[in-house]
Amino acid sequence: MPLECIVCHSDDICSKDVKEEVKVGLDIVYVPIHVPVCGTCGERYYDRQTMQYLEEVTQKLKAGETPLREVGKVLTVDI
C-alpha cells in the first residue's frame, strides 16, 4: 500500500471494499474487490494480484461463464 497518494499527496489511504466497473459488450458489471483507496481524492491502488483477478473475471464474464444478477439498468438519452 502506498504511504502517500500519487495524485493528491494525501496520506489518508486505507483498504476498502469497492466495486470495480467492468464493461462487457454494452453492459457494465460490478466486481467487488478490496483495494487501498485514497480517502481524499478516491484514487484506487491496484496491486498485481488484483489486476490479475480482474483480468480473469473479465475473461470469464466475456465467455458468459459467470452467473449474474441484474441490479439496475444503464440508460441513454435519444436525442
Contacts with Zn ion, residue ranges (CB under 5 A): 5, 7-8, 10, 38, 40-41, 43
Output the nine-digit C-alpha cell for 71. 441490479
Nearest distance from C-beta of residue 2 to Zn ion, angstroms:
10
Output the nine-digit C-alpha cell for 27. 453492459
Q: What is the DSSP string of 38-77?
A: ETTT--B---HHHHHHHHHHHHHHHTT-S-----------
Nearest distance from C-beta of residue 8 to Zn ion, angstroms:
3
Nearest distance from C-beta of residue 14 to Zn ion, angstroms:
12
Query: Closer CB to Zn ion, residue 8 or residue 28?
Result: 8
